[in-house]
Every structure is written in structure tokens, then in C-alpha cells.
């Protein structure tokens, strides 16, 4: 079964084709970073308009790269939420219209389910059950995964998401958008000098909080002369505190569930220091760490095509409604 996947939830237009037996056939992405960086963040209306411009050419490109005709496609998966309403509607209407024209089923995919299943596209995918740490620009979630659609929320951020904290820290340090990779690059020049808090690690539970860390960063910055070295040391302290906080909570989640497999996914899972900290912890815990290749940590069409394919294979059917849900808790999903 060939499934076309369309991702338009935020600032990246991602399109891919996944085949149930042959695996990933083609995937292309158009990033809107240059357009939004002028404004220091994502401008929702500009994002929607640009998705409209990019989505159909990317679909054509995917078909051509896979040497496929539209009649080869057996189903279409699209990101239905969470995300920006206007942006989601572009993917949803494109997918539903093409599905109608091509007379194939379309399926609404939860963006975080896409991220969570992204490691399944790698050579040694994790077996169920596992613990997943989903760290993106909008979400920080710890989930127990027993199968596709079987998600038990173990913990989440009570305020800012980890990616959001990276983005805000970048802004404070004058690094611009998108913050994560920029903070990470600057942190490489930083030295261990400041000790930042590890929020909510001194009490039981698996929830996160990152807004205090942001305030701490701001106060520390104001106490320095704001030289390049000061900023690099602050970036290093912030990243170390985030990595350690995430690691402490992941260790706790593994111990609490008794599971020995940990998946990390979402934009922040591209961070080298966070990966290294989690790898060290999982080795000590005699657990296995799984993550997607770098380009599938951030938003992409491949994870949506994969998730949609699994749901279509299980026989899931939907009506013709153009479904888009900007706020959509992952715990609302049902199993296949």
C-alpha cells in the first residue's frame, strides 16, 4: 500500500510517500525558516499562504522521485492537529480533495503520534511497549506506548515546552529564530560557569516546567556584561540544565514503568547534548535508546505517511470531513 503523507502544521511543508512493505519511497520538505526569521518567529498567516504555494509541487516531486503515478497511491495521510489552524487546513483540504479525486481514503493523523512513530522509519525500530519523550516546539510529553494509538500520558510540561524554552532563550541571547539549533551551536563555545536549576526534579512525578529556567536565564544574563563568552556560558548552562532535567524524568519514567526502551522524538531530540545525556543514562539503566535520524526529528512528511499507513492498514476509516484540530491531546487517540 502506497500512502502519501502531508505535514503542514507549522512552518514546514513536508510531503512523503511510504509503502507498507518497501518502506519510505520519497520525502521532500520545504522549510519556511528564511521567511519567518525576518519576524523573529512564525507568522501564522504567512505560514498558511506558503503551504498553499508549496504543497502541490512537493506532491508532484514525491511522485516523480518514486517513479509513481497518482493512480498508484492507495491512501493519503495528513496532519490534522495539533498546530496552527490555517496551516493545518491547507494540508487537510489538499489531502481530502486529492483523496476525493483519486477515489482513495484519507486519514487524519495526530502530529505528535507522527513524531512518536518516527523512529519506526529507522533500521532497528523499537518494539512495543516503550516510553517516549516527545520534545517539540509546542509539547513536552512523556508517554507510555503499548501500541499504535495506545498512549498513556505519564507527564507533560505545566508551562513552556522544551523547544519553546530553547526558542525564548535564543531570543534573549539575540540569536533569532529558530532558537534550538542556534542555542546549541553557541553552547559548544560555552564553559561550565553558571549553575541553573533543574526544575521539578526535587519532587516526585513526571511533569516538567521550563518557564522558571527562562526567567533564570534572563536574570543571569542581566548580571553579566553580555559579552560573547557570557552568552555562550549561559547557553551552555541552559542546555545542560534542560538535558539533565529531561534525563532525570526519563530515568524516573523507565523505573516507574519497568520498561527498558526509551524513544526520543520531536525537534529538540535533534540536540546533541540531550541525546548524549539520555544515551549515558539508558546505558546505566541497561535500557535501549531509540531516536529518528536528524532530519526526521523535526517536522516532516515521512512520519505522517508512516502513521497514516499503519492506521489505514488496520482498517481505520473516516468520513469526508475536513478535520483540523489545533488543540488535540494525544490521550484522546484510540488504538488500532
Q: How far is the CB of 241 from Zn ion (least distance, A)?
A: 23
Q: How far apart are CA 98 and CA 93, in angstroms?
A: 8
140 counts as binding ligand KG4 under rule CB under 6 A = no
Helix (H) or strand (E) holding 107: strand 106-110
Q: How far apart are CA 202 and CA 210, in angstroms?
A: 14
CA distances 74 to 4, 58, 69, 95, 313, Å, are 8, 18, 11, 12, 11
149 counts as binding ligand KG4 under rule CB under 6 A = no
The count of chain residues that interact with ligand KG4, using the rule CB under 6 A, is: 19
Q: How far is the CB of 126 from Zn ion (least distance, A)?
A: 19
Binding mask 173-212 for ligand KG4 (x = CB under 6 A): -----xxxx--x----------------------------
301 counts as binding ligand KG4 under rule CB under 6 A = no
Instruction: Looking at residues 150 to 169 of the shown chain, list those that interact with ligand KG4 (rule: CB under 6 A).
Output: 163, 166-167
**The Cα angle at residue 163 between residues 132 and 229, in degrees rounded to 5:** 125
Nearer to ligand KG4, 50 or 299 (CB): 299
Among 137, 190, 199, 308, binds ligand KG4 (CB under 6 A): 137
91 counts as binding ligand KG4 under rule CB under 6 A = no
Q: How far apart are CA 290 and CA 205, in angstroms?
A: 23
Helix (H) or strand (E) holding 14: strand 12-19
Among 7, 27, 156, 299, binds ligand KG4 (CB under 6 A): 299
Among 98, 143, 268, 309, binds ligand KG4 (CB under 6 A): 268
Q: Which residues bind Zn ion (CB under 5 A)?
A: 136, 299
Q: How far is the CB of 305 from ligand KG4 (least distance, A)?
A: 16
301 phi/psi in degrees, rounded to 5: -85, -25
Which among Zn ion, ligand KG4, none contacts residue 178 (Cβ within 5 to 8 A by kind)? ligand KG4
Cell of 196: 541553573
Among 5, 114, 119, 138, binds ligand KG4 (CB under 6 A): 138
Nearer to ligand KG4, 254 or 270 (CB): 270
- Three-state DSSP at 268 gives helix
Q: What residues are paired with 76 via a beta bridge?
A: 4, 106
217 counts as binding ligand KG4 under rule CB under 6 A = no
Which among Zn ion, ligand KG4, none contacts residue 271 (Cβ within 5 to 8 A by kind)? ligand KG4
User: For residues 105 and 75, is the Cβ–Cβ distance under 8 A?
Assistant: yes
Q: How far apart are CA 162 and CA 138, in angstroms?
A: 8
Which among ligand KG4, Zn ion, none contacts residue 156 (Cβ within 5 to 8 A by kind)? none
Q: How far is CA 111 from the centre of its chain?
A: 8
Nearer to Zn ion, 14 or 126 (CB): 14
Q: How far is the CB of 195 from Zn ion (least distance, A)?
A: 31
- Three-state DSSP at 172 gives helix
Residue tagged 516526585 (cell numbers): 204
Nearer to Zn ion, 73 or 145 (CB): 145
- Residues, the chain, total? 336
75 counts as binding ligand KG4 under rule CB under 6 A = no
Q: How far is CA 280 from the centre of its chain?
A: 22
DSSP string, 18-64: EETTTEEEEEEEEE-HHHHHTTTS--HHHHHHHHHHHHHHHHHHHHH
Q: How far is the CB of 319 from ligand KG4 (least distance, A)?
A: 27
Nearer to ligand KG4, 181 or 212 (CB): 181
Residues that bind ligand KG4 (CB under 6 A): 10, 136-138, 163, 166-167, 178-181, 184, 266-268, 270-271, 298-299
Amino acid at each position: 500500500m502506497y500512502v502519501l503523507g502531508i505535514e503542514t502544521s507549522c512552518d514546514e511543508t513536508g510531503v512523503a510517500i511510504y509503502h507498507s512493505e518497501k518502506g519510505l519511497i520519497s520525502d521532500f520538505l520545504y522549510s519556511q525558516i528564511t521567511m519567518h526569521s525576518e519576524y523573529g518567529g512564525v507568522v501564522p498567516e504567512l505560514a498558511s499562504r506558503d503551504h498553499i504555494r508549496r504543497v502541490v509541487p512537493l506532491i508532484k516531486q514525491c511522485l516523480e522521485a518514486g517513479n509513481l503515478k497518482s493512480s498508484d497511491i492507495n491512501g493519503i495521510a495528513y496532519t490534522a492537529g495539533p498546530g496552527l489552524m490555517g496551516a493545518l487546513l491547507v494540508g487537510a483540504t489538499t489531502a481530502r480533495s486529492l483523496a476525493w479525486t483519486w477515489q482513495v481514503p484519507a486519514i487524519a493523523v495526530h502530529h505528535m503520534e507522527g513524531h512518536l512513530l518516527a523512529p519506526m522509519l529507522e533500521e532497528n525500530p523499537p518494539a512495543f511497549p516503550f516510553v517516549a519523550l516527545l520534545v517539540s516546539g509546542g509539547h513536552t510529553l512523556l508517554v507510555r506506548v503499548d501500541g499504535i494509538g495506545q498512549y498513556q500520558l505519564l507527564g507533560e510540561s505545566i508551562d513552556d515546552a522544551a523547544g519553546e524554552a530553547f526558542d525564548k532563550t535564543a531570543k534573549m541571547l539575540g540569536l533569532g529564530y529558530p532558537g534550538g539549533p542556534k542555542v546549541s551551536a553557541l553552547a559548544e563555545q560555552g564553559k561550565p560557569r553558571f549553575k541553573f536549576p533543574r526544575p521539578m526534579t526535587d519532587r516526585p512525578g513526571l511533569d516538567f516546567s521550563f518557564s522558571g529556567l527562562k526567567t533564570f536565564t534572563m536574570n543571569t544574563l542581566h548580571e553579566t556584561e553580555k559579552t560573547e563568552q557570557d552568552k555562550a556560558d549561559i547557553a551552555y548552562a541552559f542546555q545542560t540544565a534542560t538535558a539533565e532535567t529531561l534525563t532525570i524524568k526519563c530515568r524516573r519514567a523507565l523505573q516507574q514503568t519497568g520498561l527498558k526502551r526509551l524513544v526520543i522524538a520531536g525537534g529538540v531530540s535533534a540536540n546533541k547534548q540531550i541525546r548524549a545525556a539520555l544515551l549515558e543514562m539508558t546505558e546505566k539503566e541497561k535500557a535501549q535508546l531509540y531516536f529518528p535520524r536528524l532530519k526526521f526529528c523535526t517536522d516532516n512528511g515521512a512520519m505522517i505517511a508512516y502513521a497514516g499507513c499503519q492506521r489505514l492498514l488496520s482498517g481505520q476509516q473516516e468520513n469526508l470531513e475536513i478535520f483540523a484540530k489545533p488543540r488535540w491531546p494525544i490521550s484522546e487517540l484510540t488504538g488500532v
